[in-house]
Structure 1
Amino acid sequence: MAIDTPTTTTAPDTTSPAATSPEQPGGDRLSGRARLVLFVLCAAQFMVALDFSVLNVALPVLGKDLGLGQSALQWAVTAFALPSGGFLLLFGRIADLYGRKRLFLTGLAVFGAASVLATLAWGPASFLTGRALQGLGAAAIVPTGMALLTTTFPEGPLRDRALGISGTLLSLGFTVGMVLGGVMTDTLGWRSTMGLLALAALIVLCLAPRLLPESRTPQRPRLDVPGAVTVTGGLLALIYALSTAAQRGFGGPDVWGTLAAGLVLLAAFVVVESKSPAPLVSLPMLKRRTVAWGNIGGLVTFSMMSTVVFVLTLYLQETLSLSPFRTGLVFGVQGIASVLAGTYAPRIIGRFGARRTLAGGLLGQGLFTAALLGVGTQSGALLATVAVSLASMCHLGAIISYGVTVTSGVPDDEQGLATGLVTTTQQVGITIGIPLLGVLATTGDSLFGGVRTVLAVDAALVIVTALLVAAGLARRKA
């Protein structure tokens, strides 16, 4: 949605001429400047979300062009996912120390240059290097962008509206990527998808410097180096293990070795944070009921929805033999449904509350995912289109409400930490969903059987999480 995790206040630098209130005199309307700030921040989030999916339908063509074998195609996704998920917390803390705007612009520059490299790639090595650098840029853009958003828009209707727009565009970026990936691959070739990302980064980079306020913590606490090393290493090892398992299964020693190393490092991170005078993550914050259950709901809604989109892409192209263009159209309908949901989600939250909306959104996502089990080997495109669109509408409600749930009621001096956890959850969820369940898609006698297995497990996990979140948030604030 900011992996920015300060333990001190995150108020923007009020000496900056750009650090002005987004409110009009009425207090509940966005000023013209605030609209531009929101546009820039949401455009950056949209661009990163686009990068997660724009290559999905282009992978078969890309593999033949660059000489990437079928077993190596997953690395086109994993090369981006590793740094984008692994460096989030570290970059969020660096932004606290040296300025969020500064790191945001640096991330945009790296992302844009990496997109150019991926566009011009002359072989697997150059392409995967470009993808990895894109992920590194994304790890800087996402947490700083969210922190700039929450420090610009105060808690209440304005922040709810800003988070609603951001959440809508985040989900829309993922689905639009599927549409554009199919259309552009069929008409202009797969390289045009990477060129589009380079152009988007250039546009945002030109607009951002004059519009965005600089913000950082008023003090300059020490960088928690042991915490940064353990959490970054743990996330990288965990993501690598899950991504490798998606290709070869969990039987390899490298999978179990890196998985064990990741879990050990993350456990060490918890110990380090409990003793650090300036922790990367404040453990007491995690004890807040809204923070803990809100992030659990966010992790599940992101990871499971990204998995649904991935396996449906396989089903539509490999089982029903749809072209990349027609596959993209299916997800285009899903994108329209996401926009509609994002428009009405803040109103639903205002009426029923963020906690109920989160639990209800998860439940709806799980039930409509279960409806996808009705697709067949000869037909099912219509059912897939309707069910995934309805699941996405519920998913949007869950995305927006989990961001509101986690950040509402948190003191100003802990707001950066709360938004940091939101962004960590978002990125890790998007990153681990496909590797975690993707291996199940190849375990059956056929691809279709594997897809059905993934959908069944996916739906069950989301429904169970919905019930747990509803029960966990039923009591008053912790």
Structure 2
Amino acid sequence: MRREEPGSAASGLILTLACAAQFMVVLDVSVVNVALPAIQSSLGFEASDLPWVAGAYTLTFAGFLLLGGRLADLFGARRVFLAGLALFAMPSLVGGLSTTAGLLIAARAAQGLGAAVLAPATLTILTTTFPEGPRRTRALATWTAVSLAGGASGNLIGGVLTQSLSWRWILLINVPIGAAAAALAVRVPPGRPAARTPRLDLPGAASATAGLALLAYAIMQAGPRGWDDPVILAALAAAVVLLAGFVLVETRLARDPLIPPRLFRLRAITAGNAVMLLAGACFQVPMWYFLTLYMQDVLHYTALQTGLGFLPHTLLTMAVGLRVTPWLMRRTDDRTLVIAGALTAAGGFLWQSHITADSGYLFGVLGPAVLISVGGGLLNTPLTATVTSGVAERDAGAASGLMNTAKQVGGAVGLAVLTAAVAGRASTPHALAAAYGDAFLIMSVMLVVIAAVSLALPARRSG
């Protein structure tokens, strides 16, 4: 898509489309969680296969993100955006109408592929539409806040749809939203034509996709199987070989690399994605996972009550991300805000680590939510602005894919490590609360590490 001039009427439409699509993608990471019992009963899932309803989506999403990001650079963001919408909405329809467990898992995997194409395209559209400065800051703040809200509200939306209609609607709802977004997207002007015929880096795409998919698989299965399981060890070894081959292809062989090595000469890219990887290991998936377990297993909330319990996280994150952070970004550098956000969230997770079976909602969930949400709202927008800054338009998709990959891999690794760290505890409410508290304590320590690593970020002001 072309870069819009300030005040262009099309820019508002582009921002709305990008945010709506990103909301769908992030929502589907968590929306199935509270519907799993209903899905198991409806389709006769074996207990051992049920995690693949979420895992199939996560696996293909993480595996194809680098490829999805580069497609936007080579074939145009609008074209890839529309393709991603189709790849996401059509499997949603199939999944919502599934009559067998296998068909639902296949549909979820195809959804993940669509998400991997769509998510980088939404960020590429914004960074190539809005030039660096206050307008891009506001656009990225909106995109980031909507992303965080999509994940945090997944449990609520999933609970409402499952309880009031059917579990099928957690997937079917994507179809009309995707169709409406596609109808609006065709009205947006296409980007400039490529200066030469694009050539997709197929060896790089194959090695990166297979390597990341195997890495995600090993991490997901390490909990139930154990890290010393031969299958896990073989998957990890194959992932290392494939990813090493990817580095060789990118640096020595590819004419149009999937991730151009020149990107890593930018300190904002290297340090920024290291911070993004670590932040992904705390926020979003790991936080939602353990907080959901605490509310359901210890406080004995229903699915709908658990979803409502996340509402303060959603509202506070959006309020800080949309209003406070852009204002602060005009007055201080992004690195300072990332550090301040990490330390604020670290305080929230430290508070959260003191939960007990008797904490209740006010002190066990709501109080820590204030600090965690304020910290996340302060951290995410300036970090996103940093890792997409100074990137030429021809590499915007690659940078977006790299950022999304760092976030997803960080979340998967963080969840696996934290789950292993608290495994084997007794199942009484007091023991579970203590185990989940330990997970939150580890997140608090990691956020202090994030603040230290963030010192390597360039001191730049994007607002």
TM over 0.5, shorter chain: yes
Change over 3 Å in CA distance of 1:379–1:354 after alignment to 2: same
Corresponding residue for residue 282 of structure 1: 260
Q: Return the alpha-carbon distance in structure 2 between the equivalents of residues 441 and 345 of structure 1.
A: 34
Amino acid at match of 2:300: S
Report whether the alignment pairs 1:295 with 2:260: no
Corresponding residue for residue 21 of structure 1: 4
Could you say what secondary structure the match of 1:205 adopts?
helix
Report whether the alignment pairs 1:81 with 2:58: yes
Structural mapping, 1:149-168, within 5 Å: 149-168=126-145
Corresponding residue for residue 355 of structure 1: 335
Change over 3 Å in CA distance of 1:329–1:287 after alignment to 2: same
Report whether the alignment pairs 1:425 with 2:402: no
Q: 1:406 Cα shift?
A: 1.8
Change over 3 Å in CA distance of 1:220–1:444 after alignment to 2: farther
1:398 to 379, 393, 399: 379
Q: Return the alpha-carbon distance in structure 1 between the equivalents of residues 394 and 191 of structure 2.
A: 17
What's the CA shift string for 1:195-226, capped at 9, x where partnerless? 22222222212221112533564333432222
Q: Return the alpha-carbon distance in structure 2 between the equivalents of residues 93 and 177 of structure 1.
A: 28
Change over 3 Å in CA distance of 1:189–1:476 after alignment to 2: closer
Structural mapping, 1:170-319, within 5 Å: 170-211=147-188, 213-214=190-191, 217-276=194-253, 277-305=255-283, 306-319=285-298
RMSD: 2.2
Q: Return the alpha-carbon distance in structure 2 between the equivalents of residues 439 and 199 of structure 1.
A: 39
Q: Return the alpha-carbon distance in structure 2 between the equivalents of residues 286 and 192 of structure 1.
A: 42
Q: 1:58 Cα shift?
A: 1.8
Q: 1:189 Cα shift?
A: 2.6
Change over 3 Å in CA distance of 1:450–1:60 after alignment to 2: farther
Corresponding residue for residue 320 of structure 1: 299
What's the CA shift string for 1:15-44, capped at 9, x where partnerless? xxxx462412xxxxxx43211111011100
Q: 1:139 Cα shift?
A: 0.8
Corresponding residue for residue 465 of structure 1: 450
Structural mapping, 1:377-388, within 5 Å: 377-383=357-363, 384-388=365-369
Change over 3 Å in CA distance of 1:179–1:202 after alignment to 2: same
Could you say what secondary structure the match of 2:448 adopts?
helix
- Check conservation: 1:407, 1:415, Cα contact below 8 A: yes
Q: Return the alpha-carbon distance in structure 2 between the equivalents of residues 191 and 421 of structure 1.
A: 32
Q: Return the alpha-carbon distance in structure 2 between the equivalents of residues 415 and 75 of structure 1.
A: 32
Q: Return the alpha-carbon distance in structure 1 between the equivalents of residues 459 and 44 of structure 2.
A: 56
- Check conservation: 1:91, 1:140, Cα contact below 8 A: yes
- Check conservation: 1:58, 1:190, Cα contact below 8 A: yes
Could you say what secondary structure the match of 2:353 adopts?
helix
Change over 3 Å in CA distance of 1:53–1:107 after alignment to 2: same
- Check conservation: 2:69, 2:397, Cα contact below 8 A: no
Could you say what secondary structure the match of 2:187 adopts?
helix
Of the structure 1 ranges 447-456 and 135-144, higher mean CA displacement relative to structure 2 is found in 447-456
Of the structure 1 ranges 171-180 and 275-284, higher mean CA displacement relative to structure 2 is found in 275-284
Change over 3 Å in CA distance of 1:22–1:324 after alignment to 2: farther
1:434 to 402, 410, 415: 415
Corresponding residue for residue 4 of structure 1: none
Of the structure 1 ranges 395-404 and 36-45, higher mean CA displacement relative to structure 2 is found in 395-404
Q: Return the alpha-carbon distance in structure 2 between the equivalents of residues 297 and 288 of structure 1.
A: 14
Could you say what secondary structure the match of 1:70 adopts?
coil
Identity value in percent: 35
Alignment coverage as a number of residue pairs = 453
2:105 to 124, 128, 134: 128
- Check conservation: 1:285, 1:291, Cα contact below 8 A: yes
1:452 to 430, 437, 441: 437
Amino acid at match of 1:301: A
Could you say what secondary structure the match of 1:377 adopts?
coil
Q: Return the alpha-carbon distance in structure 1 between the equivalents of residues 73 and 3 of structure 2.
A: 19
1:145 to 116, 122, 145: 122
Unaligned runs of 5+ in 2: none
Q: Return the alpha-carbon distance in structure 2 between the equivalents of residues 354 and 50 of structure 1.
A: 27
| TM-score (normalizing by structure 1) | 0.89
- Check conservation: 2:354, 2:437, Cα contact below 8 A: no
Change over 3 Å in CA distance of 1:413–1:141 after alignment to 2: closer
What's the CA shift string for 1:112-162, capped at 9, x where partnerless? 111111111212111111111110110111112211111111111111111
| TM-score (normalizing by structure 2) | 0.92
Q: 1:369 Cα shift?
A: 1.2
Amino acid at match of 1:44: A
Q: Return the alpha-carbon distance in structure 2 between the equivalents of residues 415 and 120 of structure 1.
A: 37
Q: Return the alpha-carbon distance in structure 2 between the equivalents of residues 185 and 475 of structure 1.
A: 46
Could you say what secondary structure the match of 1:226 adopts?
helix
